[in-house]
């Protein structure tokens, strides 16, 4: 705005200076007395030359100069003269041309800067992300939930966001808050179970299994809970149970990535079955495990031996025998809480409770 005011003032001053000559009542005709003076000068030059006061060349130069002035006076006499009204219109016209020309030139030259600026601003806006990232959305939700901790949907959304950013412990905590506020939502339990399982590198812990059971108690058709229940079955050595769960999910119309994951899991089971040892090898392995069990019966104070026995029975799919080995190991170290806890932890990792 200030720039326009300055330019307007400068344009007005320029227009006044241009129009001023048209407003002044200039004397455009040489007065008759001036012409007479020129003629008298010519006569005097001629007289001086005839008397010999000046030489011929000087007389001729002086006469030519006087004639030039006289001619100029006569040309001015022949020019048409403007009236006062005509001079006023001429002044307005000239001033208008100057003003419009100045404004047009400014618009032509300065208009490029705002356009360039606008283009830069548009480019800057376009280069910015139009939607916040999942991480940014999660941070905003966390700030908002501090002010509104009773927002169930907010906690569920935060849990989902933290799952997407691989912050599994935070996701489990968010779903736990949602469950506190809405304890009958089966999908919140299964989502929390998934977060816990992923936080444990896909190992189904006791806490995760409890969340799966809670989800299925509220909704036996919860697909996510059933999928992870299949994973738990596989980890316990129950391959057939895992296959049955995943096959049922496929038959019920699982689609897209979920169906592909189910098929991958089932293919891995088939691959494991194909890699099982032949009958003679299997017999040899069972013989070795049975021999380990006999040795432990004779010398039960071998914590690592009991751990190997429990894991071997689980690998062979002999869950009942593995459970029996765990009970015997507990009795063997009834007075040593530290070793007994170590055996318990290894058994849980193998899939026993």
Most confident of 87-96, 143-152, 258-267, 283-292: 143-152
User: Between the CA of residue 166 and those of 160, 204, 207, 249, what are the distances in Å?
Assistant: 10, 17, 19, 26
Tell me the mean pLDDT in the region 119-144.
Answer: 66
Clarify whether residues 169 and 284 are in a common domain. Answer: no
What Rg value do the Cα atoms of the chain yield, rounded? 53
What's the confidence (pLDDT) of residue 223?
Answer: 92
Which whole number is the average pLDDT over 145-150? Answer: 91
Distance CA 157, CA 248 (A): 29
Residue with tokens 């002999």: 318
- Cα dihedral 77, 82, 83, 85, rounded to 10, equals -170
Per-residue pLDDT, 12: 57
User: How many CB atoms sit inside 10 A of residue 27's CB?
Assistant: 8
| Lookup: tokens for 176 | 């736990």
Same domain, 269 and 284: no
Residue 29 has pLDDT above 50, yes or no: no
More confident residue, 291 or 115: 291
Q: Are 257 and 315 in the same domain?
A: no
Do 147 and 226 share a domain, yes or no?
Answer: yes
This prediction's pTM: 0.44
Instruction: List the CATH number of the domain containing 197.
Output: 1.25.40.10
Residue 288 lies in a domain: yes
Confidence of residue 79 (pLDDT cuts 50, 70, 90): very low
The band of 39, judged by pLDDT with boundaries at 50, 70 and 90, is low
pLDDT at residue 272, rounded to an integer: 54
Q: Give the range with max mean pLDDT: 164-168, 227-231, 247-251.
A: 227-231
Phi, psi of 262 (to 5 degrees): -60, -45
User: Do residues 197 and 228 make contact, with C-beta atoms less than 8 angstroms apart?
Assistant: yes
Q: Are residues 232 and 270 in the same domain?
A: yes
Domain hosting 206: range is 134-274
In a domain, 123, yes or no: no
Burial of 125: CB neighbours in 10 Å, binned 0-12, 13-18, 19+: exposed
Q: Judge if 288 and 323 occupy the same domain.
A: yes
Residue 99 predicted with pLDDT over 80: no
- Report DSSP letters for 271-298, one per residue: HHHHTSPPHHHHHHHHHHHHHHHHHHHH
Q: Are residues 284 and 257 in the same domain?
A: no
The per-residue pLDDT for 289 is 83
> Is 176 in a helix, a strand, or coil?
helix
Instruction: Provide the token pair at 329.
Output: 């190991």
Shared-domain flag, residues 152 and 260: yes
Quickly list H helices, 79-185.
84-110, 112-127, 134-147, 152-164, 168-181
Cα distances (Å, whole numbers) of residue 304 to 284, 294, 307, 348: 21, 15, 5, 15
Mean pLDDT value of segment 71-91: 49
Distances (CA, A) of 73 to 67, 185, 200, 294: 10, 111, 112, 145
Q: Are residues 270 and 172 in the same domain?
A: yes
What's the whole-number average pLDDT of the chain? Answer: 75
The answer to whether 48 touches 54, Cβ cutoff 8 Å, is: yes
Residue 147 predicted with pLDDT over 50: yes
DSSP 166: T
78 and 94 together in one domain = yes
Give per-residue pLDDT as tens, 100-109. Answer: 555 555 555 5
- Are 249 and 155 part of one and the same domain? yes
User: Using CA atoms, how far apart are residues 231 and 200, in angstroms rounded to an integer?
Assistant: 13
Same domain, 283 and 302: yes
């Amino acid at each position: 705005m200030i720039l326009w005011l300055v330019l307007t003032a400068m344009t007005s001053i320029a227009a006044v200076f241009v129009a001023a000559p048209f407003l002044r009542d200039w004397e455009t005709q040489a007065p008759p007395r001036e012409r007479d003076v020129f003629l008298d000068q010519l006569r005097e030059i001629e007289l001086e030359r005839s008397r010999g006061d000046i030489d011929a060349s000087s007389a001729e130069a002086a006469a030519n100069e006087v004639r030039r002035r006289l001619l100029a006076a006569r040309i001015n006499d022949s020019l048409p003269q403007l009236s006062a009204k005509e001079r006023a219109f001429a002044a307005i016209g000239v001033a208008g041309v100057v003003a419009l020309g100045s404004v047009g030139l400014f618009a032509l030259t300065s208009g490029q800067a705002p356009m360039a600026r606008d283009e830069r601003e548009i480019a800057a806006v376009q280069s910015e992300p139009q939607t916040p990232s999942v991480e940014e959305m999660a941070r905003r939700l966390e700030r908002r939930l501090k002010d509104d901790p009773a927002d169930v949907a907010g906690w569920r959304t935060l849990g989902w966001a933290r799952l997407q950013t691989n912050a599994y412990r935070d996701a489990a905590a968010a779903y736990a808050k949602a469950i506190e506020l809405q304890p009958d939502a089966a999908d919140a339990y299964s989502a929390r179970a998934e977060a816990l399982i992923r936080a444990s590198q896909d190992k189904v812990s006791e806490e995760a299994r409890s969340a799966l059971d809670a989800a299925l108690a509220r909704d036996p058709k919860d697909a996510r809970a059933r999928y992870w229940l299949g994973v738990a079955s596989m980890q316990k050595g129950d391959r057939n149970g895992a296959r049955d769960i995943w096959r049922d999910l496929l038959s019920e119309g699982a689609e897209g990535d979920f169906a592909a994951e189910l098929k991958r899991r089932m293919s891995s089971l088939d691959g494991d079955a194909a890699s099982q040892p032949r009958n003679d090898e299997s017999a040899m392995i069972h013989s070795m495990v049975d021999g380990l069990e006999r040795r432990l019966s004779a010398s039960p104070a071998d914590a690592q031996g009991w751990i190997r026995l429990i894991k071997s029975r689980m690998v062979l799919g002999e869950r009942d025998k593995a459970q029996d080995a765990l009970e015997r190991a507990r009795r063997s170290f009834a007075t040593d809480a530290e070793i007994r806890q170590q055996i318990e932890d290894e058994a849980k990792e193998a899939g026993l409770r």
